[in-house]
Structure 1
């Protein structure tokens, strides 16, 4: 059974939660657009936006890698890494007294999943061109 769709669904739930959190904050602070100079709003918007910037391309590459025959253990590890990375990043950036370790760890995990999936896709295509 494929692994990536399950993690895509988990990440969709996280994206939904981040979106609802941002909408509730907008309602509470009465900010319709942008962040109105409010640092709490800015953090919520950036957490949600950063997720939207990195997760789709990473999931797409993970999907390609899985379909090109990447081992199940590797897919499980990379998908879990992406999910943990996004949770760590969201937690870190959401804190007004930010602990940068969560943000850095979150981005490191996200980049690892992204680059490992891209590397596997390149490797699989290289093998197919040679063979």
Structure 2
């Protein structure tokens, strides 16, 4: 049995991860920086966007896979995955903006909020399913 929604979301997130990776590599080559950020605010921001992405994506994919395996609605799982992808893209864009502006910015804030809302919804959904299975 293939977990279609999980596989699709994972594929999209994998492509975004590669794009974020190449954005960091590009700045490392341009600035001749092999370790750290070389004092570049943009390289620091892109490195953290990449790292932050890699911190949130695994738990979301685990939750998505478990919920899909348990019979969760493809509509809600796909919708949540789409919102999560949008949140991660907004966050990465916002991190670039943060490199040139010390104040908060809407893309980063909205991206973070969307990410956390999906993580919260999927976590609660998983707990409700697990509690129902125990009852």
Q: TM-score range by the shorter chain?
A: over 0.9
Deviations 1:76-131 (A, max 9, x none): 1100011000000011111223761111110111111111111111111100111x
Between the aligned partners of 1:12 and 1:105, the Cα distance in structure 2 is 21
Which 5+ residue runs of structure 1 have no aligned equivalent? none
Q: What TM-score, normalized to structure 2? A: 0.91
Q: What is the aligned partner in structure 2 of residue 117 from structure 1?
A: 122
4+ residue runs over 6 A deviation: none
The count of corresponding residues between Structure 1 and Structure 2 is: 130
Aligned-residue offset at 1:24? 0.9
Q: CA RMSD in A?
A: 1.3
Between the aligned partners of 2:114 and 2:68, the Cα distance in structure 1 is 19
Between the aligned partners of 1:111 and 1:117, the Cα distance in structure 2 is 10
Q: 1:23 aligns with which of 22, 25, 48?
A: 25
Q: What is the aligned partner in structure 2 of residue 75 from structure 1?
A: 77
Q: What TM-score, normalized to structure 1? A: 0.94
